[in-house]
Structure 1
């Protein structure tokens, strides 16, 4: 393990208990703040809900007062003045009394009174026509939240119907008096505004299915996303609180359900705002801890850069020399304490490089001599056969083939004996093979061939006379003994870091045992007899590209022999 890693680990080990202890203390502080906030909000919710229930209960008492008032009892008993003037005066008196009832509290409300027996109705706001269909559809003894029209304007209100006698609730036509009390939602909104303090909380009433009463400055988009996310679970927080994540922020949500009206009073506060002092203290501690860790890491880096890294550079330089990198040198001017040691190492490396390069150059000369000797062994093999062809044509007085063969042999020999250049390109080698195949076809007149080389291989540098010996071997041992014509297919590809050439014939072929013996003979240190063309090419490939290169003989699908030449693609690596 590196020194800097050890020092950083030590700092982390020392700081971990301190950070853990502070984290525990911070968590306890946060929990305490949440508990105290919960207690305070629970009390405030209970007081506020009590105010709403008390106001609704107070308004509900108007129904008893109205049913006992003599003028209303006269209408309820269907004792209506026959004189139009007296009827108008009585109706006006009833409306003034309803207006007095509706304005007796600070809460805005509307009172409508219906007399099913006489078919009359009166309202605290304006003239009200009697509508039995409306009563049958809307009359309910529970508080409902709906939209009403007051003086031509639409308002949201809590509505409840009081039916006298109570037994007439099943058939409202039998009722003496039906009192409709509308408690305007504006009253609840003002009460919610008074409940909202310093802008940190945002109370609202919620029942579900779109029934929602907000305060005057409510964040309605946030409230609706909260309801959409939590749904009915908001009511489940009654008597306690829920921690809710919304848009990446945490909120504490408090809820209290009223059994009298069936609504839930909900208040939510952003936790970040409440815990801002605690969070600020926590962040300050963490910043200080990070600075201490960074200072420790800086000190460890100084030790690493001034001591451990020079030692490591010296070790790496030694390893590079051991692996054969004779150009390995150390920067002697980077560290004064190790400068002398680095200079001694560089002088030693220079001396070793000089000696090893001298030996290496001698080995290269010896290897080049071996390559030239192996390459020269290939040429006589083909030359003997060609001379035999010329002699045969001359004996038959066929001068034109003799002249053509002489010129072709001249081109062939000029290419094959160019020992000053041991290398050639794939394009030149393929052109040479084409000439050779044309010459052989002049002799045998039964050989066809195809050459398919990848375009990117044309400029690849390879040893000279690499493909011709393989083609020659295929003709002599595969196609010549075959009755009738034959063909040779030559292909070249490069893939996955390997160059691969194949020479495949459809000749007489070899048995599996013979193929195995040939593959084994290629690895011998001495050529296997006079027929050394394949062995020669294999040895040259190993000399040039290493032990991963060479030949492999297999059975062709057409019945002949398939020779595969492969070696690592140095340009790919």
Structure 2
């Protein structure tokens, strides 16, 4: 799992975007495909049901129409004119015979015109030895033979529709026992059905397809899609015994057909309607093509959209990566140019500000460390010079010589503490109380040296100062500066005051003397150096000022002024973070 995640993480952004959009859209496409197929199947079922109902409706109409014709035909058994011509011809006058024939013909014509499916109606009358027909008053002698042949075909396999010489008839024989006796019947009525009308009826189905009306002896087809007819009849025959009406899909070769079958018990005939499945699903297939075009278009849109997002995201990221690599190489100066106002512009600006702050912080830490090292070096160099160190040893020699061992012990201890503090490495900040102890060690040594000339007022460190950390070696140089420059030429009654104060936002250290002070030009030059940020050799007060500014910024620093005793007063401000926290 971890390896798979690692491989995924290593994939570039553009393939990730494409895969992400595809994963999001794939369920939608799948759902659309499923819905399309379900809709397609539902439409096929609905169309199939509709066609089945339409076929049943048209077949029922045909059945009812032929049933009506057959019932009307059977009523001719009781027709008065027909009975007179069949039984009473010998006693009828010519007028009566002609009138009866004309009336009968009129009735036959009326029956013929009542149905489009009737082509011709003829009645062979044995006593008349002729035929009354809707086409002619009397027929040829062979009409009797044809009428008998049709009647015999009816009693063999043609009820109610008789097939004879590729024509269809509705036959009525009186009496109806022609098959049991050789006696010639009184009359034979044959209604010839219109093959053209039946074919046209098959062509009037609302759906374009092949249709056949058939039984074992005859068949009428509309000649649409004749090629697969035999195979479709063969495959449909498998289901005929199971149901009198059904619809099923039939596959002939590579083509699929929908077949609708219905059988009429009354007519002893079946209706088969079939059509290519493409006829009803062709439009749906068009929708399927449009669906796949939509899928392909969506995929192209996803790729283009992903590429657009890739350009919108990757190009700024590339610039940012280059800048990161530049910073990694230690180049903090080159900036990332950006005039953008969007989120990337905000990131670029924040990044540049972060780099600038990092550069400033590095400079501060580096420069502060250098200045601390310079301060320590200067202090060490100054203290080991004869100016301080020899004087200290001379004091010890004098004290030992005059048997002032306790004072010599105090001086030697303070001298050891003093050098131990300034030579200690690794500490850039110390608690203020440690710095004050170091200053006291220095003052104790100087008190022995200047005991008759300088009076020191060293105020105890207030309790609230304890625990405050400050840069190391920033207080002792102030006191040393007072001894060397302020009180160096004072012969007597020299004063040195070291005090502590605080308020809500800062701690204050004050060193004041009553020395000779500085001239106006010296005051101005010193203030310029303290406020200037130009690099150069920095010692004493200037060194302390630069270190405080690097550490605390505008919240800390050093100020000088003329004191109330006539000499110099030096202030050091340290931020009171303890006060801010409380």
TM-score normalised by L of structure 1: 0.42
